[in-house]
Structures are given as structure tokens and as C-alpha cells.
Structure 1
């Protein structure tokens, strides 16, 4: 349908442009013929002065069939016809006395006329042709141009139809292959001969299948681990609740209640970190101008209650002025909070955790046992606990850190202190 519209537009354009060009050429022929007759009069080849009352015949060129249709009249300036061609009508071709082109109607037939005034000889030369003849000539020219195109168009349409059908056949085969696949089948598409245009599509689909399969495996493992990790404290809660119900010993009941509080704290932290991890991985927040100094102090202030409960001193070192950077405050705060919280839990009572802002790098130091070298490669994997994570550790803090820093295009570096403790450097890219 689109091809047909293009062809129709082309035909209309050809008709319009061809008519305009033919009209221009024919008008030029009229002027040329009028100038030729005027030259013959000037050269005395047509003796107008000796004609008297006789009508002078005007010979017209017979070189082309169209020339036979030209009509010429010679009128004196006082309004007397002194000569005309065989095909010219008996009445005046045009009543326009001025030199140039004009239109007239003779016996109901429209004419195109060119008038040339020769004041030296006292004559007016008129050369005209019938517009009906012109229209016939234009139709002949258009027929010569459009008739071959009309014959070729069906053939071209068939060729296009076959070519498009053959070109789309591999896509149809690929669509059928995908249509019959199970929703759980994420295996790569089978290799085999394929057109050059289909190979990038197949590679892209295989890449997509691989990424979806990896994401599904991660989510499946995440669900399995989360269910297992939540099962342990929930089972402990049930057990301690049964102990409290069955025992009348106040000391036993107090120990059971303390165990329940620890289980609730662990479960609360795990659920909070699970939700935060999901929020970080879903985050599509745009970056904005952020004051790193203010964000660091705000994050530390939120964790001072936890540090006080753990009897850990929380110190900060930052410039007195604002340090501005374009980043995502949500992702950066999530990374900072989890590193500082892990440092507090990993530090013994009476220890100190220091948070330092140096340019666009945040350094967190603690005085705990540090991360063993054998765990460094997988410490940012979900549910991987270090030796200092304690009973409330969920193994999610550093995985939240890794996910947030990846989205911030930042870098995480773990440095083991010479006197013990762990240093974590968060390098942000401006």
C-alpha cells in the first residue's frame, strides 16, 4: 500500500512537472515562430508593403508534426490583416494589442497566442496554437513516460512481495521457535545456518536468556537462603516461648526472654536488610547534587544509638565546608550505613569506629578482628558472614554495599590494619 502511494505521488509529480516543461517549450516555440516571421518581413522575404489589398500567405515550418498546428497572422497597426498561414482562423487570434503571451477563445476553442509588435514596419505578428492540441501533446508525452512504468509496477510488486517474504522467513522461523518454547526454558537458541541479519538477533536473545537465567538463579538462591536464615531465629523464638510457658523458674524465664529479644533483633535486622537490598537493586533514582559532608554526618547520627548500645565510640573526621558531588544520596547512604553498622557490630566493647571523608572518598575504620584473607573474594556475596559479625549478623550488609557502589560506579577497597581491625574505602567517581 505504501509502495502504491509512492508510485501515485510520483505519477502526479511527473504529470505536473512534465506539463509545466512542455508548456514552457511550446511557449518558446511560439515566440521563436513570431520572431522568425518578423525577420522574414524585415528581410523582405514577405513583401508586406507591396501586398496592397491582397492576403499574403505565410509559410510555416514542416519539420515537426506540431509545427503544422501553428497558426500565424500579420496585422497592420491600424487593424488590417495583411497575411496569415493556411491553418490560421479568419478572425483575430487575440484582442490583446500589447506584446507578449495571452489566451483567447475562438469559436469556443481556447488558444495560446504570442504577439510581437514591429513598430518599424508597422505590423503586429501573432502566432498561436490550440490548447486542445497542446493537451494532446502533453497526454502523449505522459503516456510515453507512465505507460512503461504501469507495465513494470505489477512485476516490481511481485518481485518485492517475493523478496520480502523470503527475507522475513528466517524471522518467522525464529518467532515460531520462541512461540513453542516453555516459559521455563532459558537455554540458548540452537546454532545453525542463518542469514547475516538474523545472527545479531539470535546472539542478543541468547544473551538475554543467559542474563534472565542468572537473575532467576540468584533470586532462587536468595529466596532459599532467606527462608533458611529466617527459619533459624523463628525456630528459636518458638523454642524459647515454649520454655517460658513450661517453666515457673524466674531465672529460666528471664534467660528465655533475653533469647527471644536477641532472635527478634536478628530477625528485625535481617528483614530490614533484605528490604533495603531489594530497594537498592530496584533503584533507578537519578543523581543529584549532594553534600557528602552532610550525608556522612546524617548517617552517623542515625547509628549513634546502636553504637551506644554496643558501647562503641563512633567518631567522624570531615571538612568544615560542604563537599558537593553529583550522586544518588539514597544509594550512597545505603552503602555507608551498612558498612558503618557492620563495623560497629564487628568491634569489641570499648572500641572505636572512625568515619573519615577525604575528598570524594569515605574511609571507615574499626578495631574488630578484620576480614580473613580467604573471605575477601566472597565477602560481598549474600549471607556470607565474617568472624566478627556476631549472633545478629545476617551476611547482607556488604552485599548491599557492593550493589549500591556498582550502581554508583564507585570502587570498594578492603585494607587489613597492621594492628588488627578493618578499613573499608569507598571511592566515588565524580
Structure 2
């Protein structure tokens, strides 16, 4: 039952209904008791004053009121007959008369008004009226046990139907909950029948208002999964194509170097093999880097990164590559230390690809500069730059542009853009004057 939404809803409704019924019963009990007390007290007062008035008008002759009338027959059951008892006492303290069944003991010692007294284990509610002119006191009493029984009988009249109605009400609630949750069951059944590759949206227009947000969220999930699968399909197709080209070139150049007798042709073929190996190695590394960026982005938290320390380490890592191409890698630190909060693995992945891209596209003797602040890390090269119409596509996967590098694969800037997105930043590209490209990794 704990794991069932239908069961939980049923239990909540039954408990809520039972609680409301119980509170209503308590309220009716309290209000009925108060009303009964008020009505019966008013009756006591009226009866006592009526008896005093009758005595005063001599309609009742207290002189002949007998004290020795036979006892009334015993009544059993829930009869409410003869609930009141009346006594007439002289002011000197003698009992002049009483009603059938009234106790012999004085009902109250009060001269006037309401009082309560226990006689022979029974509690009486009494109203007293004193007639000074005739020298008598009229006491009219009501047995509180009978009052309590009257209220209990009213409550029993409520509890008995409740005991009979609750099971029927529970069955109706269970049926109603089942009917009400049928749209959710139908949605679950529709999802259960779907094939794994069926990502078509669910029709949310005809769904109940409570189901519509779930259907909308599922449709959003289907769309994101579809887009992800499409990107992966395109990525794998491009990756297969890009790997196939250098591997075919490797085979061709190896066959040339094996078959030729000319040393210059052999050396040229070996140089082509080295270039193809470099390109293939870089492509494989960047394919792995793309997967790493997506995996790290989902699991990595934020770190406090000292940019000066971080970029010095990055420059040392790429200095050998830059020296081989005759390029100087230069850091331009700010006046004050800068510490940012970002994922260090993603930051390293982005900067490695940006710097490699700048080195690969810069001519020998050029300078690649790296500057930074709390807002961004900027890498500038002295290469040919990019045509303005290609800058918007520079971060697309496998887009190499017209000024392509022999070892480029078109993944470096796309990896940097992916990492920037994962850390909540952006990647901005613009041409420098007179030539070169400026890449800014904005951190905020």
C-alpha cells in the first residue's frame, strides 16, 4: 500500500472522511449537550415557578399534599417519562409535599436558583423558588443521569449509521479513486507498449489537467533524447568518415614507400605518413575528449581555480608543441591574482583545445598570447583568421573552414564550446587586426 499512489490516495480520503465524521460527531455531542442543558434548565425553572404560582393561587392545597402515597411502579429501559421530581418544603424545614418518585431527602439547600446535589449516588440538577408570603419553598429537580442518557442516545443515533455507511463509503471512494486515476493508467500502458526507438510525442491535448504536465515533461524528454541520438548518429558518421580518410592515406603512402626505388619519393611518402598519423592521433584524442567533456559535465562539481597557476601548467604542457612549430607561447598575467569557481577538468579540456588550435593555425615565428581576468580567458594567435561567414559555424563538429590545418579535425573549438556550456560560460570568436583570431572563454 505504501508504494501505491492509488492506495495512498484511498487511505488519505478514508482517513479524512473518518476524521471529519468524528469531529462532526464530537461537535454534535458538545452542541447537543449544551442545548439539552439549556432547554432542560429552562424547563426546571418554568416548572418550579409554575408550581409556586399554583400554590399561591390555591390551585394546589399544600395542606392535603400526602407524604404517604404509594411508590410508583419501577420503569426500565430508555423511557424518559416523569423525568422531573418536585418537593414543597415549609420555610421551617418540614416536607409539605412531593411528586411521585421524588426522593425523601431535600433536593437542595439553596434558597433560590440553580444548584446540584448528589442523593443516594445520583446527581440532581435543582431549581429552587422561595415563596415568602406562604412560607414555602418549591424545589424541582432533574436527574442528570437521565440527561446524560438522552445525549448518549443522540450520539448513538449518529454512530450506528456511521458504522453501516463507512464500508459502503470506502467502497465508493476506492471505485472513485480507480476511475479518477484511469488516465494515468492509460498513459502508463501506452508507454509500456512503445518500442525503444519510438520517440514520437504523447498527445497531451486530450489528457486530464493533472496528467498534462507529466505528458508535456515526457514529450520534452523524448525530444531531448531524439536530439541527442541524432547528434550521436551524425557524430559517429563524421568520425567514421574522418578516420577512414587518413587511414586510407596511410595505406597508400606505405605502399608507395615500399614499391618505389627513388629515395625522394620514399621520403615524401614517409612525411605524408607522419602527417596522417599525427592527424589520426589528434582526431582520436579529440573524439575521446568530446566523450570526456560530456561525461565530466554531468558529474563534475565546481572547484576554486587559481588561473595563474592553472595557465602556467597549461603553457608548460604545450611549450614543446609550440617550439617544434617555431611558435612562442606567451602568458600575460593581470595585476592581481584571479581565482574563479569552475570545473577544473572541463576548464583544462577547453583551454587545451583552444591553445592547440591557435598553435596549429599560426605560422612559424608567430606569438600565441594568453591573458585572463575574473570574467574570461582570452587566447590570441597570429594566423590567417577566419572569414566572417565561417565564424558562426566554427564550433560545429568537424567544421574545418577554408583555412584548415593539415592536422586539424574540426573538433577543437566544438569541444571548447561544449566545455564552456557545461561550466555555465560561453565561447566567443572574432578576428584580430591585421590578422589572427581571438578566442575568449567567458566564465560568467
TM-score band by shorter chain is: 0.7 to 0.9
Q: 1:249 to 1:85 in 2, by over 3 A?
A: farther
Instruction: Verify: 1:127 aligned to 2:138, yes or no.
Output: no
The equivalent residue for 1:209 is 222
SS in 1 for 2:410: coil
The match for 2:329 among 304, 314, 334 is 314
> Residues 425 and 193 (structure 1 numbering): CA distance in 2 closer, same or farther, change over 3 Å?
same
- Change over 3 Å in CA distance of 1:31–1:177 after alignment to 2: closer
Partner of 1:86: 100
Give the Å deviation of 1:341.
Answer: 1.6
Query: 1:357 is matched with which residue?
Result: 372
Q: Residues 261 and 75 of structure 1: is their aligned pair in 2 closer, same or farther, counting only changes over 3 Å?
A: farther
The range that moved more, 218-227 or 270-279, is 270-279
Are the equivalent residues in 2 in contact too, given 1:114–1:128 (CA < 8 A)?
Answer: yes
Give the match for residue 3 of structure 2: none
2:283–2:409 Cα contact (<8 Å) kept:
yes
- Residues 117-144 of structure 1, C-alpha deviations (whole Å, 9 max, x = no match): 9999998968342536633443335526
Residue 114 of structure 1 aligns with which residue? 125
Q: State whether structure 2 residue 345 is matched by structure 1 residue 330.
A: yes
CA distance in 1, matches of 2:45, 2:250: 117
The CA distance in 2 between the partners of 1:220 and 1:345, in whole Å, is 28
SS in 1 for 2:31: helix
1:273 aligns with 2:286: yes
Q: How many angstroms apart in 2 are the aligned matches of 1:92 and 1:371? A: 117
| Candidates 11, 14, 18, aligned match of 1:8 | 18
Matched residues in 2 for 1:127 and 1:176: separation? 72
Q: CA deviation at 1:367?
A: 0.5
Q: CA 1:68 to 1:292, structure 2 compared with 1: closer, same or farther past 3 Å? A: farther
Of the structure 1 ranges 411-420 and 37-46, higher mean CA displacement relative to structure 2 is found in 37-46
Residue matched to 1:183: 196
Distance 2:253 2:211 in 1: 63
Shift of residue 79 of structure 1? Answer: 9.2
Q: How far did residue 311 of structure 1 move?
A: 1.9
Say whether residues 1:226 and 2:239 are aligned partners: yes
Q: Distance in 2 between matches of 1:256 and 1:170?
A: 69
Contact persistence 2:342–2:423 (CA under 8 A): yes
1-side partners of 2:123 and 2:266: how far apart? Answer: 120
- Unaligned residue ranges in structure 1 (runs of 5+): 58-64
- Given that 1:34 and 1:125 are in contact with CA atoms closer than 8 Å, whether structure 2 keeps it comes out as no
What displacement does 1:263 show? 4.0
Secondary structure of the corresponding residue to residue 364 of structure 1: strand
SS of residue matched to 1:391: coil
Provide the C-alpha distance between the structure 1 equivalents of 2:303 and 2:66, rounded to a whole number of angstroms. 97
| Maintained 8 Å contact 2:243/2:280 | yes
Aligned equivalents of 1:33 and 1:316: distance in 2?
Answer: 104
- Tell me whether 8-17 or 242-251 shows the greater mean CA deviation: 242-251
Normalising by structure 1, report the TM-score: 0.74
The reply on whether 1:404 has 2:404 as its aligned counterpart is no
In structure 2, runs of 5+ residues without a counterpart are 1-9, 69-78
Q: What RMSD in Å do the two structures reach over aligned CA positions? A: 4.7
Report deviation, 1:356.
1.7
Change (3 A) 1:74 1:355: farther
Deviation of 1:183 (Å)? 1.5
Q: TM-score, normalised by structure 2?
A: 0.72
Aligned pair in 2 of structure 1 residues 280, 103: CA closer, same or farther (>3 Å)? farther
Name the residue aligned to 1:20.
Answer: 30
Does the CA-based 8 Å contact 1:70-1:127 persist in structure 2?
Answer: yes
Q: How many aligned positions are there?
A: 412
Q: Per-residue CA shift, 1:4-45, capped at 9, x if unaligned?
A: 333333333333333333334444556656666787899996
Give SS of 1:383's match.
coil
Q: Which residue of 1 aligns with 2:71?
A: none
In 2, distance between residues paired with 1:419 and 1:76?
A: 130
Deviations 1:263-301 (A, max 9, x none): 443333323322222232231333354444444444333
